[in-house]
Amino acid sequence: MVCHPRVIHPGTTMTSFLALIKKDFRSYFNSPIGLVAIALFLFITGFAFTAHLTQVNPHNLPEASLRGILYFMAVILLFICPFLSMRGFAEERKSGTIELLKTAPLTDTELVFGKYLASLFFLFLLLLATVEYPLILLVTGAPDKGPLFLSYLGLFLVGASFLAAGLFASSLTRSQMMAAVVTFVLLLTLWFLADVGGEIGEKISLISHLQSFSLGVFDLADIVYYLFFIAFFLFLTIRNLESERWR
């Protein structure tokens, strides 16, 4: 078998790219799974939010901030994101549509970015649905808006990192469940590195970089960490797709 570079006609690329994003984004709503995921996320985080404001936890005080529940929200994302990203390539493989995608006028990079952006839009929507929390805080108290905004930025970056790792896992297998399990184990390992890996573990850990955001501190190193994490897993996904041509 000889490896040929794909010939892509200019002009059709952007249309196909947008069509891919649209298709993948819609797939979250074609079945009830997307909305169920949002409802589940809201139900669980809503429980934490109520507890946070009504002092159910004696170690917390009712405070006009999301600081007390930010980690909890990130933990819930850790469970939800593998299910959002597992479809990515695994489903295409299983249903055989991956061949169609590969013959579409898109590079592997565009293919990966298209799928990733679609999942990112869904993540954005998921977090947007939690806008009730800051609104309640604004009505009942006087939250510090800087930390509030940065908390959401941190949460989005954590979720985006989960999705990037999930997309990579999805590109490795044709089984969606296997992709979700691999993603979850990988993320969990990276999460707990902060506790067991000493100082280096803390630098690599996904969760240790969330703290500054919750405090209201914008640390460039934390932003760069998440962006590099995303970029690296997308790069691995692209390399993995490319490898299928010569394997």
Partner 1 sequence: MKIESLRKFKYGANAIALTILVGAVMVLLFGLIDRHDLRWDFTANKELSLSDQTVQVLKNLDQEVQVTAFFRRGESPDDYFIRRKVGDVLKEYAYRSPKVHYEMVDPDLEVQKAIAENITTDGTIVFRSGSQRKDVYKSQLFNYDRFSEQALPEFTGEGLFTNAMVAITGESRKTVYFLTGHGEKNLEETGPNGYRQIKDYLTKENYEVKTLNLLTGGTSDSASLEDSNLLIIASPQHPFPEGEEELLISYLKKGGNLLLLLDPLLPSSCPRILAFLGVALQADLVLDPKRHFLLGMHYPVPFLSEHEITKPLKDKGMNPVLYLARGLTLKQPTLSTLRAEKLFESSPEGWGETTLNQKADAKFDKEKDFAGPVILGVTVGQLSKKKEEAESEPASPELQQGGPASQPVTENKQPRAVVVGDSDFATNGIIQVPGNMDLFLNMVSWLVGSKEAISIRPKTPEFRNISLTEGQAQFIFWFTQFAYPLLFLGIGGFVWWRRRLL
Among 5, 9, 10, 142, binds partner 1 (CB under 8 A): 142
What amino acid is encoded at 56 in this protein?
Answer: V
Judged by CB under 8 A, does residue 166 bind partner 1?
A: no
Smallest gap from residue 239 Cβ to partner 1 (A): 5
Where in 69-128 is the site for partner 1 (CB under 8 A)? none
Distances (CA, A) of 24 to 21, 111, 205, 242: 5, 11, 30, 21
Distances (CA, A) of 239 to 15, 80, 217: 24, 26, 35
Distances (CA, A) of 238 to 13, 58, 103, 152, 171: 17, 48, 16, 28, 9
Among 122, 133, 162, 168, binds partner 1 (CB under 8 A): 133
Among 38, 66, 70, 106, binds partner 1 (CB under 8 A): 38
Contact at 8 Å (CB) between 100 and 3? no
Judged by CB under 8 A, does residue 198 bind partner 1?
A: no
Q: Which stretch binds partner 1 (CB under 8 A): 10-18, 94-102, 107-115, 134-142?
A: 134-142
Number of residues lying near partner 1 (CB under 8 A): 64
Report the alpha-carbon distance of residue 25 to residue 27 in Å, rounded. Answer: 5
Report the alpha-carbon distance of residue 131 to residue 134 in Å, rounded. Answer: 6
Judged by CB under 8 A, does residue 63 bind partner 1?
A: yes
Residues in contact with partner 1 by CB under 8 A are 1, 29-32, 34-36, 38-40, 42-43, 46-47, 49-50, 53-54, 58-65, 129, 132-133, 136-137, 140-147, 149-150, 203, 211-212, 215-221, 224-225, 228, 231-232, 235-236, 239, 242-243, 246-247
